[in-house]
Structure formats: structure tokens, C-alpha cells
Chains A and B, each alone.
Chain A
């Protein structure tokens, strides 16, 4: 009898120990879209770093741009009995069933970077950036920098009709609204690529009196800005001085340009979506605290005053 009691006690203690260990070291499954862009690759490596820092065991699944692979991965995570699941959903629709299965298994799901069209009680929270705000921060920087001098801006848009292009345009326009000295003279799509950014900027430079009439270039992403900077140099002007350069994303190469004095500002789209997600998960696991449904990451402004060379060194290994 006594022995049995001891045994039960032991088992109780053991189970207590194991729950404590679980809280310290969760196992989290991460279904990533793929590695279609440098930013996506950086998000993957930062997520792995964040997990390691916190002692979280990360199970990683690359969906190679296919929703069916993501659904398979999530079902796999549920079967393995992970403590939580992170998903960067490749498309917005078709998630009800698999998210319902995770909910039934009492596994909290956190959405990274993109949203889904499904009932909000199917996931714990979503971590994403505010793209309108990114454009707004870029616009605010320009308003502050040019003061009340007249300023003709040329805009290199992202892919026509894509959500980031629409939102980053909208935010920038909101920020410069009410400052009649700042006008968007030209706006064309550079498809988020360097080659197209360069080609479009070449056209703009010809169309605006060899570039002499242009005061600033606003690019919806850094890659197009890097291409645009080359076009400005080819036209015999100094990017960063003759033409101000402001863009969004904060990839390593824009910091290299900034260190060379050829770019003036960039707004960060942080690849660290997992940090806030893990924070929310840890708080939820510890005392059941419900996080906010939409966690918005910071849209931080970087200028040459923020040690661009150091930022370049810190970021270049992340897979951008």
C-alpha cells in the first residue's frame, strides 16, 4: 500500500517536472510558405534564431508555395502533438477545416505575416506589419526632410494590383496630403525588381528634364530603389544628394547604399514576426492570457544616422 502511494507520488512529481519542462521548452511547428524572396528567407532564419534563443524546439516545414503542403504540414504537427503552430499562409482562403482540427486538438495557431479569411476564433492571434503605415512613415520622413521647399517625387510602385503596392502607395499619399509643396510627378510599376526599377527610373529621368526636376524617389521596396540609384548615377546625378531616395523593407543592400551616401531612408518590414508570436504563445501557455487578435509589428525608420554599415553586417547573413 505504502509502496503504491510512493509510486503514485513519484509519478505525480515526474509529471509535474515534465509540465515545467514543457513550459520552458515548447515544441512549435512552423509551416513556412517557401523561399520565394530574400525577405522570406530572412524570416525563416530569424524564426529559427528566435526559437533557439528561447529554448523552443522548432519543427520546420517548407510548403514550396502550395497550400496543400501547408495543410499536410499542419496535420502532421497535430499528429505529433506539438504545443503550438505558426503558419505563414500562402493564400487567404480554405483554412477553416484544418484550423478547426488544430482547435479540436487544443493546439493554438498563430498566423505570421499574412491573414486568412476564416473565423477569428480558429486562431490565437496574427502577427503582421501594417503596410499602410510603412508608406506613411516613408512619407512622414520626406515631409520632415524637405520642409516647405517644393518637391517633385517620382514613385516606383510594386506589382500592379498587389496588396503591398496598393497599401504602401496609400500610406505615402496620406502622409504627404496637406503638404502642397510635395507632389507625386510620376508613378510607374517596377514589379518589385531591381532590373525594372532601374528601367523605370531611366524613363523618369529622361521625362523630367534629365532628372534635374526630380527632388525625391520613393520606391515601394528596396530592390527597386537599388536599381533606381544605379539609373540616377548613370544619368550623372548623385543619388542621396541631388535626388533623395526613400524606400521600404530594410534589406542589407539598401544599408550598403546608405553607407555609401546613396540612399537616405528605409522603413523596416521586420523579418522577426516570430518574436512577438513566441511572446504571445509563452504568455498564453503560462497563465492563459489571451493576446490581442492582431499584433502589428513596428515599422521602424532607418536613416544614415542609424549605423548603416553595422545594420548591413548584421543582416547580410540572414538569407536576404
Chain B
């Protein structure tokens, strides 16, 4: 029963992605051309998975959070913080392992802070994470002293621009993270716990779930994901841009999760579908870039497509469609 409803959901996102890709192909016939260049795949499709990777990674962390009826607005700012820490550490001459450990540790600490405010102090997730959304960017600016800290360590840059088996590194990382997170929540009881908390936290607690610790862990994981995305974003441009790194990406991540079919009211969730949501958003962005439309239309096009996708997903629309379908034979009888 559950598998069936999931597969019907799956088809929604796949149809949406196919539709967006089809439109891209119509406005730019070379969209599906993929060539081999300098030991890596090269083409617009590759751009979609490469550029979509940071938001996909954010969405992986955001999905369990939203499934527990929470939200994390601070992930964009945490990206900036992690990037700033990574850049300053590598500039100071620390080896890659130390640099990454420091950046990700700070990101996890940010997530723990959110989790602490939400799980133990009972502050609403929207408000609690809003604090770090504002303060985090300030913190990043403090670390970089307001300028773009550039670096040239090839190992760190590889994380953002390198490739593995021809695929861009960010996409490989996102894929591994998605598979790992998905199997962790589905092969253990973790997924069930998360859905239980999202559906009714009190009931879940009364059945013996340690919901506080679980929520804390979920926000820490969200912070970790934001940290990974932040390191990738910094490595991509070989610099930490505290003012712009991850700016507004929290909204794209939330949108990706929503397109992936997870309700903002918590409960059922799917990490792979959230990633698919991120890919849909990026397919749209890349399509706009190759289409040649004037930039004034960017947001209108995006808004229009997203509206269509969300309307198609709406449960009420499904009911109406079902009602019309059941009316049809009736209508045929009475010409």
C-alpha cells in the first residue's frame, strides 16, 4: 500500500523533470549533447547535476527536518560559515583533512545549536533557525573579514571542480550522500521514528521514543549537509564569498523537499525524491541560461513552472480529477 502511493508520487516528479528537460531541449536543441573533454563528461545535462548538487545536498539534510515538522532557514548561512572556515584554514597552511574537519565540525556545531534551541528549549524551528540565518552570515563575514578569501590548494579545489569516473565531484558526493542517508533511514527504524515524530511528537514520545535526542541529531545532520555544500561552493570558485555563498539557497532546498512530496506538516518523506526536486529546480535554471531569454524573465519562468508542478501534485486536484473520471461514464450514458 505504502509502496504503491510512493510510486505514484515518484511518477509526479519524473514527469515534471521530463517536462522541464523537454522544454529545455525545445529552446536549445543541443541540451542533451554530452561529450568527453579532458577526462570528464561535458554538456548541459552534466551542468544540471553539477550545479544542482549543493541544493541537492541541502535538501538531503532538510528532508528529515521537514519530516519532523521542522524547518532549517540557516543552511545558506551555515554554507557561508563552512566555506569561510575551510578557506581560512587552507590559507593558513593546514592540510586538507584538518581543513575539512574544521569546516564540517563548525557546521555540525551550528546544526546542534539549532537542535538545542528547538528540542530542548522548545523554540519554534522557524524562529530558532532564523537566528542563525542572520547571525551565521555575520559570523562568516567576521571570519573572512568582509573580503573574498581565495585559495589555491588543488586538493580542496578538487572537491568543487574535480571529477570521478567522468562525473563532477559535487554530483558524486551528493549521490553518495543520498544513497547513504536513504539506506540509513529505510534499513533501520530511523525513518519510522522520524515519521512518527512528524505525525505526532507527543504520541511518539509516549511510546518511548527519545524524540529530543533524535531531533537534535537530525538538525546536526542538516548542519553537516550544509557544511558539505558550503565547502563545495567555496571550492568551486576557489574562494569563500561570505556575502553571497549560499544566499537564499535555504529556500531552494525547502522547495526541493516540497517538490519531492514531503509535506511541510511533517510525516511521510523521501530523500531521493527531494534530490529529484533539486535536480528539477536546477534543470530549470540551466535551461533558462541556455535558452537566450532576457534575464528579466528568469523569475517569472521559474515561478510559472514551479506553480504548475505544485498544482499537479495537490491532493485536492487529484480528488477533482478522480471525480471527473467517475463522472465520465455517467456523462456518456446521457448524451
- Taking beta carbons and an 8 Å cutoff, which residues of A are in contact with B? 35-38, 41, 157, 160-161, 186-189, 191, 193-196, 198-200, 202-204, 206-207, 210, 223, 226-227, 230, 234-236, 253, 319-320
> Number of contacting residues on B, CB 8 A?
37
Complex formed: what's the CA distance from A270 to B146 in Å? Answer: 19
Q: Which of A196, A198, A236 is B38 in contact with, Cβ under 8 Å?
A: A236
Interface centre among A160, A187, A203 (most CB of B within 10 A): A203
In contact, A253 and B28 (Cβ under 8 angstroms): no
**CB-defined contacts of A186 to chain B, threshold 8 Å:** 292
**CB-defined contacts of B289 to chain A, threshold 8 Å:** 188, 199-200, 202-204, 207
In contact, B292 and A207 (Cβ under 8 angstroms): yes
The 8 closest A-B CB pairs, nearest first, are: A203-B289, A189-B295, A193-B244, A194-B237, A207-B290, A35-B146, A206-B44, A203-B290
Instruction: State how many angstroms separate the Cβ of B141 from the closest Cβ of chain A.
Output: 8
B233 within 8 A of A: yes
Instruction: State how many angstroms separate the Cβ of B315 from the closest Cβ of chain A.
Output: 35
**CB-defined contacts of B237 to chain A, threshold 8 Å:** 194-195, 198, 226-227, 230
Contact code string B160-192 (vs A, CB < 8 Å = 1, else 0): 010000000000000000000000000000000
Instruction: State how many angstroms separate the Cβ of B297 from the closest Cβ of chain A.
Output: 10
Given the interface pairs A160-B296, A187-B295, A195-B233, the reply to whether A203 lies near B241 with Cβ below 8 Å is no
In contact, B292 and A38 (Cβ under 8 angstroms): no
Given the interface pairs A194-B239, A235-B37, the reply to whether A38 lies near B146 with Cβ below 8 Å is yes
Query: What are 20 A-B contacts defined by CB distance under 8 Å?
Result: A188-B288, A188-B295, A188-B298, A194-B148, A194-B237, A196-B244, A199-B47, A203-B290, A204-B289, A204-B290, A206-B33, A206-B290, A207-B28, A207-B30, A207-B289, A210-B35, A236-B38, A236-B42, A253-B148, A319-B147
In contact, B241 and A230 (Cβ under 8 angstroms): no
Instruction: State how many angstroms separate the Cβ of B317 from the closest Cβ of chain A.
Output: 32
**CB-defined contacts of B28 to chain A, threshold 8 Å:** 207
Complex formed: what's the CA distance from A298 to B44 in Å? Answer: 41
B286 within 8 A of A: yes
**CB-defined contacts of B233 to chain A, threshold 8 Å:** 195
Q: Nearest B residue to A206 by beta-carbon distance?
A: B44
Q: Nearest A residue to B168 by beta-carbon distance?
A: A234
B294 within 8 A of A: yes
Complex formed: what's the CA distance from A198 to B145 in Å? Answer: 24
**CB-defined contacts of A35 to chain B, threshold 8 Å:** 141, 146
B245 within 8 A of A: yes
In contact, B243 and A37 (Cβ under 8 angstroms): yes
In contact, B161 and A234 (Cβ under 8 angstroms): yes
Which residues of B in the span 215-274 have a Cβ within 8 Å of any Cβ on A?
233, 236-239, 241, 243-245
Instruction: State how many angstroms separate the Cβ of A209 from the closest Cβ of chain B.
Output: 8
Complex formed: what's the CA distance from A66 to B268 in Å? Answer: 44
Q: Which of A198, A203, A319 is B146 in contact with, Cβ under 8 Å?
A: A319
**CB-defined contacts of A196 to chain B, threshold 8 Å:** 244
In contact, A206 and B47 (Cβ under 8 angstroms): yes
**CB-defined contacts of B295 to chain A, threshold 8 Å:** 157, 160, 187-189
**CB-defined contacts of B146 to chain A, threshold 8 Å:** 35, 38, 41, 319
**CB-defined contacts of B286 to chain A, threshold 8 Å:** 203
In contact, A187 and B47 (Cβ under 8 angstroms): no
Q: Nearest A residue to B296 by beta-carbon distance?
A: A160
Complex formed: what's the CA distance from A223 to B240 in Å? Answer: 12
In contact, B37 and A189 (Cβ under 8 angstroms): no
**CB-defined contacts of B69 to chain A, threshold 8 Å:** none
In contact, B243 and A36 (Cβ under 8 angstroms): yes
**CB-defined contacts of A319 to chain B, threshold 8 Å:** 145-147
Which residues of B in the span 281-325 have a Cβ within 8 Å of any Cβ on A?
285-286, 288-290, 292, 294-296, 298
Instruction: State how many angstroms separate the Cβ of B154 from the closest Cβ of chain A.
Output: 14
Complex formed: what's the CA distance from A172 to B117 in Å? Answer: 52
In contact, A195 and B244 (Cβ under 8 angstroms): yes
**CB-defined contacts of A230 to chain B, threshold 8 Å:** 161, 237-238
